[in-house]
Chains A and B, each alone.
Chain A
Amino acid sequence: MIFTIAIQEFKSHFKTPLAWVLFAVLQIILSYLYLTQVETFDLMQDKLVGIEGAPGLTDIIVTPLFSNAAIILLLVTPLLTMRVISEERRNKTLPLLLAAPLSDTDIILGKYLGTLALLWLIVIIIALMPLSLLLGGDLDMGKYLANVLAITLLVGAFTSTGLFMSTLVDHPTVAAIGTFGILLILWLFNISKTMSDQPNELLEYLSLLNHFQNIQTGLLSTNDILYFILFVTFFIVLSIYCLANHRSQK
């Protein structure tokens, strides 16, 4: 039942030009950034040869590409998630799901997975780009896969936040702004690290960027993975609660 909703949700993104336009725009921006990185490497190559333990192809091209992609996805995800529930409520199509033999959990998980599938499709497209380097060089596959994992988890976190905001408010635009606000704050929490000598440990733990960068380095720790799992679970549970609450509106 969850998958029925998920598949429908995934398809629905392609019924409007939104998904197609996003794909095109993302592809243009990211390939431009990717090519700039390749050129940077090309220029630095001569100097790097002489240095021992110098950063390699993966460090100079792959890691920055995924970091840039993360920032761009932070901007894009709210646009994709904003209408998931709120538009159904505005168009009064939500009773179709509410009156069907489905639990609130089914509805939320279905919607989540459907939207996540779309974002993972974007991740796949991003992840394919660096593979073209294999034609003329060697990639540190471990680090490459760590980067892919990092962005996959990150997108999962972004989507759960967007879904929650979409469940909470009736207006898609408000949901988008809300999501963007939450994500940006969580992203910037670790700015305290660079600004003061005594960083706040709690804020640093909450920072999305911190955990994302940790995984990107290739050092997998359960701490970071657990952070993302908790993050997603927290917002999914809130969404389910919120949908149930909608039914008993005062």
Chain B
Amino acid sequence: MSTLIEVEHLTRYFGKILAVDNINFNVKKGEVLGFLGINGAGKTTTMQMLSGCLAPSLGSIKINGFDILREPLLAKRSIGYLPDTPPLYKDLSVKEFLFYCAHLHAIPKSDINLALDIVLTRCGLTSVTNRLIAHLSKGFQQRIGIAQAIIHNPDVIILDEPTVGLDPLQIIEIRELIRELRQDHAVILSTHILSEVHETCTHLQIINQGKLIAKERVDSITQSINESSLIIKTAFPIDAESILSIKGVRNLEVLSNNQFKINFKLTQDPTQQISETIINKGWGLIEMSPSKQNIETLFMALTKANNNS
């Protein structure tokens, strides 16, 4: 698979403040890279530099093989960028605005209408096509921002907090959209919602105080910790001993009446035995869900360790 983004020794100073400190990473086609970090960690600065809106102090960025400083026009042809505030001309209608964006990205005249139709459907904007952007809700404006970033079908899509201000239903739609886009693009998105990384990203990158402190595949994070947990709710009280005796189970925390959390080793996943035991003993299994706190655990551990050192 081809590498679409190559970042080497990327550094950015604002005066004496070091905002981004010697970051290196690559993103290949088909990858969705989640950028995690607390506020002020340097996520937005990095994204601004990737999109060519901000020049790096040191280091190089190559988009689709073109250096963004030396050949900016060629590099930018492959970029779709949604900044943290969607750049919208609020006195235009949705269609007028996207039409203008299509022109800016040099989409051939004959293809514009088709591109417009595709992007309106993809981002769920067909019902508001002719309305003024200023009159639309924050969620719609965010979607127009995304539409603007993907209208020219760029190889690299950079989304700075794409799900901010959306309602739960829209968040799910946007996640679907990102998963769809993943097929033939490279996507970078920043967020501070940890579960989002789990849902949409293939890779995860944690940035803290301008430094890259972790880069992992999302599906390998759980393995690297080698511990996972289940949250279980039953109708009747259970006998803790018989659960603890199952191979692989490490411990059991009681969360509330008839609700508890079981931590176990991933190498000996005991989920099946646990469910069988509960059912056989007639405790009335109501709920059993894998806990998604793995990324959170990793994130907290890493940022804390880094801040202390």
Contacts and interface: CB of A to CB of B under 8 A. Distances in A.
Given A101-B76, A249-B54, A96 B101 contact: yes
A15 B55 CA distance: 33
Counting chain B residues whose Cβ lies within 8 A of the other chain, the interface size class is 20 to 34
A91 B87 CA distance: 8
Nearest to B132: A15
Nearest to A3: B103
A96 B15 contact: no
A96 B92 contact: no
A15 B73 contact: no
A77 to B, nearest CB: 22
Nearest to B54: A247
Contacts of B79: 99
A95 B15 CA distance: 22
Contacts, number: 69
Nearest to B102: A4
A200 interface: no
Interface of A: 1, 4-5, 8, 12, 15-16, 91-103, 247-250
A73 B73 CA distance: 37
B14 A250 contact: yes
B73 A99 contact: no
Interface of B: 13-15, 48, 51-55, 72-74, 76-77, 79, 81, 83, 85, 87-92, 100-101, 103-106, 148
Given A99-B76, A250-B15, 17 more contacts: A4-B103, A5-B104, A12-B91, A15-B91, A92-B83, A92-B85, A95-B51, A96-B87, A96-B101, A96-B104, A97-B104, A99-B81, A101-B72, A101-B74, A101-B77, A101-B105, A249-B54
B150 to A, nearest CB: 13
Contacts of B15: 250
6 contacts: A1-B104, A92-B85, A93-B89, A98-B51, A99-B79, A101-B74
A99 B85 contact: no
Contact of B53 (A12, A103, A247): A247
B91 A101 contact: no
Given A4-B103, A4-B104, A15 B87 contact: no
